[in-house]
Structure 1
């Protein structure tokens, strides 16, 4: 059970409404995560600004892979469920690749390097080694791309923490945290 009261549509602050409306239009529903973040227009709009800018970085499948790897490390069942749903329905990523991404791997070498790096970022609290940087660079990522991987990881960390703190009720097909 969620540890916070989810605001109804009428209770969402006006300053949060444009972002909530955009998310609702894209997903055809208002996910519980966005209802919670909408309680603070500054948080929701800050997240939306970051997400909007980062949506122009890297490849969509790499971004989805990073989301899955980060959410797995952080044990965020809500985000694993949401990102698995989005990856399969909107990004056309098959279940095998989703499972690999959750492990910090991929069937595509370049994606594998990005998701492994994101996983390592989470596991080491950002204290990656020179070898970790060398590996992601060798896969073809520039220093700017590495900064983007770090920023994407931080974006997903924010939503992981919100959902983990409030035990947000999952409103996507449920994915278990344990990998089969």
Structure 2
């Protein structure tokens, strides 16, 4: 989401945390930035989050069916939406404040 929303600070933080705490490779981080993953369940979440951005939070029945078919319950989908909205809020705050990137960056995609 941060890539789609143009939040360089959040993108740097998420990439750093994913690499350092999550053990994700640069390739995995690049995939996540593009709304994908090598893991099918994570890919479904990434696609759903990407659709939230693309549709301005107006996903359709097919979007919901896709994330449900990946094994997510309605309560888990609500949690995904909650995290996406939190990311949107932090993207806006950091973009408006022009927060300086003060951590090492990981991953290579923009």
Please state which band the TM-score falls in when normalised by the shorter chain.
over 0.9
Please give the alpha-carbon distance, in whole angstroms, between the structure 1 residues aligned to 2:106 and 2:10. Answer: 9
Larger radius of gyration: 1
What is the match of residue 81 of structure 2?
150
Please give the alpha-carbon distance, in whole angstroms, between the structure 1 residues aligned to 2:63 and 2:44. Answer: 9
Which structure 2 residue ranges, 5 or more long, are not aligned?
none
- CA contact 1:77–1:175 (8 Å) conserved in 2: no
Please give the per-residue CA displacement for 1:84-143, whole angstroms capped at 9, x wherever unaligned. 001000111111111000001000000000011011101211101111011000000001
Please give the alpha-carbon distance, in whole angstroms, between the structure 2 residues aligned to 1:174 and 1:141. Answer: 31
Which one of the candidate residues 26, 35, 43 is aligned to 1:112?
43
Task: Name which structure has the greater RCO, CA cutoff 8 Å, separation 6+.
Answer: 2
- CA contact 2:3–2:11 (8 Å) conserved in 1: yes
Which one of the candidate residues 77, 87, 111 is aligned to 2:18?
87
In the superposition, the TM-score normalised over structure 2's length comes to: 0.94
1:103 aligns with 2:23: no
What is the match of residue 54 of structure 2?
123
What is the match of residue 58 of structure 1?
none
